[in-house]
Amino acid sequence: MRSHSIPCCIISMEVILNLGLALALGLLVGVERGWQEREAAEGSRLAGIRTFGLISLLGGLWDLLSRGSGEILLGIAFLGFVVLMAVAHVAEARAVTITASPP
């Protein structure tokens, strides 16, 4: 019996492939999004290859964690992500309104 071992689910090939697939799909969506918005001004694009890649990898990691601790963690993570996106949208809308208003 090993006293300090890494759980087998973390080092399994299935987990690595699932995380790799999640990352690949996120990168693919990011590339497509960047291609669609290639004509947009610098700084006006909302998200690209890095953002979608990281979000999809984070989703894969949360799925891995939820398998061990139950579905409640996945629900909490989803709600946290929704709140974060709503706050970012409101902040962006306020920044655009402040910038667009006449002095």
Distance CA(34)–CA(46), nearest Å, equals: 10
Instruction: Say if CB 67 and CB 81 are below 8 A apart.
Output: no
Instruction: Say if CB 56 and CB 26 are below 8 A apart.
Output: yes
Domain ranges in the chain are 8-100
Note the pLDDT of residue 25: 93
Q: What is the pLDDT of residues 39-97, one digit of tens each?
A: 777 666 677 788 888 889 988 888 887 777 777 877 887 888 889 888 888 887 777 66
pTM: 0.60
Of 56 and 11, the one with more pLDDT: 56
Band of residue 99 on the pLDDT scale cut at 50, 70, 90: low
CA proximity to 64, closest of 1, 99, 21, 5: 21
